[in-house]
Structure 1
Amino acid sequence: MDDSQILSAFQDLPGRTGPRPVRGARALVFDACHVGVVLRAVIFVLAVVGVAGMYGAETVVDWLGRASVLSGAAVPATLAWLLVACSLKERLARLPLAAQHLCGVVLGALAALYGGGLLAMIGVAPVPWVATACTGALLAWLLVAALVMRAKGRMPAETTARLAELQARIRPHFLFNSLNSAIALVREDPARAEALLEDLSELFRHALVDRGDAVQLAQEVEVAKHYLDIEQVRFGERLRVQWALDPAAGGARVPPLFLQPLVENAVKHGVEPSPEGAEVKITTQRRGGVVVIKVTNTVPAGQGRAGHGVAQDNVRDRLRLLHDVQAQFQAVLKDGLYQVRMEVPA
């Protein structure tokens, strides 16, 4: 199955599993390292600078000149604050949440003084040092508060997605079909029956064990293989599976149990409705600093993609929660092939 040109809208772009950290300690530390947070912080500071430049400006040209000068100091100061907060994340993580707030505010004041020093170097005088430090502290406090709110909002979203995935994945009819397949094989082929039950056991073990916020892509591929091995017993030759796995992509961090629901959708909407069966292809590829993950399946002629897209929405939301703007998700039906394509940082 040639799935390389289905989603041409994507540009070709040139982990570690460990103990789960305390959520309260992640509000400032980890989020400050995300590209999305950096972009939003810079845009926020530029907006504040743009408004501040209006004070005392008599013309639009005057306002643009003031805003440009202030931006030349504010942006480096903001980036310095984010860089320090990110580089000190492990040390800050050991502090109570209130102490993290205080450190963020103090770093904001120091960063603002750094920006004031840049203004003094280019001859902008006099620089109101106290007001500059207070402004930096206030903006840093607002940014830290936004990061804390984002972290608190992430918890219920993860819980909801988790429950929805469990409900969609461990459906009663799938369990019954798997057990019926095993029963049918007990006398005819005991070894296959045992292998099927082992796959089912592994699938449920991964589903019910909390593995934290992120796992390696290689682990998710193993979960998907267990699921497809079970369905292979049920559908036989109707299910034709292809794997194209890049070993260099296996270390990418992804949400736990994100790949199996997509593979299940491919079986449900590609294999089940077709008497001839369907092909399902799972591809992983590392391209520079990006890992591309594709799940592709053939669709019966004359039939569009059915379903409500709940599983896909859950996967999309969880990818964005984990990687923010660095994650991409797209799905399309084209020329009898349905493909879900994702991009995550390598």
Structure 2
Amino acid sequence: MNRDPKGPYPGKRQSISQKLRALATPGTLPDFRNMGVILRVVLLVNALAALTVFIRVDAVDQWGAALLAMAGAVELPLFITVLLLYIGRPVMERLAPVRVWAVVAVLGLLVSLVTYPVFGAPSGEAVWRWCGWALLAAVAVMAYFDYLGRLYSPALTEARLHALTARIRPHFLFNSLNGVLGVIREDPRRAERVLEEIADMFRVLMKEHKELVPLDDEIDLCTRYLDVERLRLGDRLVVRWDLEFRPIAALVPPLLLQPLLENAVYHGIEPSPQPGDIAVRVARRGNEVLLEVSNPIVDTPRNQRGNRMAQANIRERLALFFDLEADMSIDRRGGRYTVRIRFPYRRVKS
């Protein structure tokens, strides 16, 4: 695996600001190619449809039939509108903010007009009333994403991201210095080399981590960290890497893998006097990258608070970068503790 002599994180990146602009920022078109955005649109429009039924139908026993009729009239226009926005996203992202709103509103109106002769409207409503409802729904969707963009403005989100990343640094420093203290008397030269390595790693840790970085650089940082841990643990620490070539160029949130390895060392290797192995697997499945880190389950009781905090930290950073397109799961079986992360495959542009 090729390494850049300048150290981790030198390549091209995608910033969290760029990601947020693509998701929803004031006055721009939401990214209708993002599954999280599509899901929100579907849920919001259906919620508006249900609210309309509850307001207009007084008899509770008629709600079920009215909801089915409303859903039958709403789903096809909604599907067609989202599909057209998905296809036309590259064109519309070049439009001015006012025109973006106008395009979405007019598109929803036209689709409702075209599909009205086929499915009609619930309760036989007049076409103008049905199209008016569709127009209001389109405006409500855009207003929601405009609000979301202001709520998660790049400045506020970057501040959250910095706070989350800052929590990692003290643990990293503490464990690294412990490793050096273990050999400083027996092998001063080796300790000196390791301190230089730690200094290089901290140059990376102290950078602004608001950008996605190449996975290859993240792995490079982790191998350095594991070299430091081997000072304390010696042959007890065994790491098995299962890396497919293709995902190595993928872009990932910075410091995604290192906290998982730190937890694996703390909970799966340190408590046991016997050698233990940490397995790291990276694979690509279609347009997604799968990342797995597993370690032995040791019965010795240890503080689980730090483990949960690190996992919550990673979950939140995945959400900030990838929204609903990424997820993280925990599995305990066969004497192994496994963390699995799935996120979209985005590669470094040459």
| TM-score (norm: length of structure 1) | 0.75
CA distance in 2 between partners of 1:60 and 1:259 (Å): 54
**Which residue of structure 2 aligns with residue 174 of structure 1?**
175
Cα distance change, pair 177–74 in 1 and its aligned pair in 2 (3 A)? same
Alignment of 1:39-50 (within 5 A): 39-50=39-50
Report the CA distance between 1:142 and its aligned residue. Answer: 2.0
Cα distance change, pair 93–30 in 1 and its aligned pair in 2 (3 A)? same
- Greater mean alpha carbon deviation, residues 331-340 or residues 289-298: 331-340
Cα distance change, pair 201–327 in 1 and its aligned pair in 2 (3 A)? same
**Which residue of structure 1 aligns with residue 114 of structure 2?**
117
**Which residue of structure 2 aligns with residue 337 of structure 1?**
336
| Post-superposition CA distance 1:229-264 (Å, at most 9, x none) | 221233221211111112223344432211111111
| Post-superposition CA distance 1:249-295 (Å, at most 9, x none) | 33444322111111111112222323335321111122334332111
**Which residue of structure 2 aligns with residue 21 of structure 1?**
18
CA distance in 2 between partners of 1:200 and 1:288 (Å): 36
**Which residue of structure 2 aligns with residue 307 of structure 1?**
305
SS where residue 108 of structure 1 aligns?
A: helix
What amino acid is aligned across from residue 109 of structure 1 in structure 2? Answer: V
Cα distance change, pair 253–84 in 1 and its aligned pair in 2 (3 A)? farther
Alignment of 1:103-252 (within 5 A): 103-121=100-118, 127-129=126-128, 131-154=129-152, 156=156, 159-171=159-171, 172-177=173-178, 180=181, 187-189=188-190, 193-194=192-193, 196-197=194-195, 199-252=197-250
- Greater mean alpha carbon deviation, residues 141-150 or residues 22-31: 22-31
Cα distance change, pair 85–202 in 1 and its aligned pair in 2 (3 A)? farther
| Post-superposition CA distance 1:309-346 (Å, at most 9, x none) | 10001112222333333323222444442221122233
Q: In the alignment, is the contact (CA less than 8 A) between 2:48 and 2:137 conserved in 1? A: no
CA distance in 2 between partners of 1:333 and 1:36 (Å): 28
CA distance in 2 between partners of 1:163 and 1:61 (Å): 51
Percent sequence identity is 26
Cα distance change, pair 307–136 in 1 and its aligned pair in 2 (3 A)? same
CA distance in 2 between partners of 1:262 and 1:182 (Å): 25
**Which residue of structure 2 aligns with residue 75 of structure 1?**
75
SS where residue 340 of structure 1 aligns?
A: strand
Q: In the alignment, is the contact (CA less than 8 A) between 2:162 and 2:208 conserved in 1? A: no
SS where residue 214 of structure 1 aligns?
A: strand
| TM-score (norm: length of structure 2) | 0.75
Cα distance change, pair 307–121 in 1 and its aligned pair in 2 (3 A)? closer
**Which residue of structure 2 aligns with residue 286 of structure 1?**
284
Cα distance change, pair 277–147 in 1 and its aligned pair in 2 (3 A)? farther
CA distance in 2 between partners of 1:219 and 1:106 (Å): 42
RMSD of aligned Cα (Å): 3.7
**Which residue of structure 1 aligns with residue 6 of structure 2?**
none
What amino acid is aligned across from residue 100 of structure 1 in structure 2? Answer: P
What amino acid is aligned across from residue 176 of structure 1 in structure 2? Answer: L
CA distance in 2 between partners of 1:269 and 1:56 (Å): 57
Report the CA distance between 1:69 and its aligned residue. Answer: 5.9
CA distance in 2 between partners of 1:62 and 1:187 (Å): 78
CA distance in 1 between partners of 2:324 and 2:261 (Å): 24
Q: In the alignment, is the contact (CA less than 8 A) between 1:33 and 1:82 conserved in 2? A: no
Q: In the alignment, is the contact (CA less than 8 A) between 2:282 and 2:292 conserved in 1? A: yes
CA distance in 2 between partners of 1:23 and 1:47 (Å): 25
Unpaired segments ≥5 residues, structure 1: 1-15
- Greater mean alpha carbon deviation, residues 175-184 or residues 308-317: 175-184
SS where residue 282 of structure 2 aligns?
A: strand
What amino acid is aligned across from residue 75 of structure 1 in structure 2? Answer: E
**Which residue of structure 1 aligns with residue 323 of structure 2?**
324
SS where residue 250 of structure 1 aligns?
A: helix
What amino acid is aligned across from residue 78 of structure 1 in structure 2? Answer: L
SS where residue 116 of structure 1 aligns?
A: helix
CA distance in 1 between partners of 2:259 and 2:119 (Å): 57
Q: In the alignment, is the contact (CA less than 8 A) between 2:29 and 2:93 conserved in 1? A: yes
- Greater mean alpha carbon deviation, residues 259-268 or residues 219-228: 219-228
Q: In the alignment, is the contact (CA less than 8 A) between 2:331 and 2:339 conserved in 1? A: yes
| Post-superposition CA distance 1:187-245 (Å, at most 9, x none) | 544xx843x34542443233222353433433322222221122123322121111111
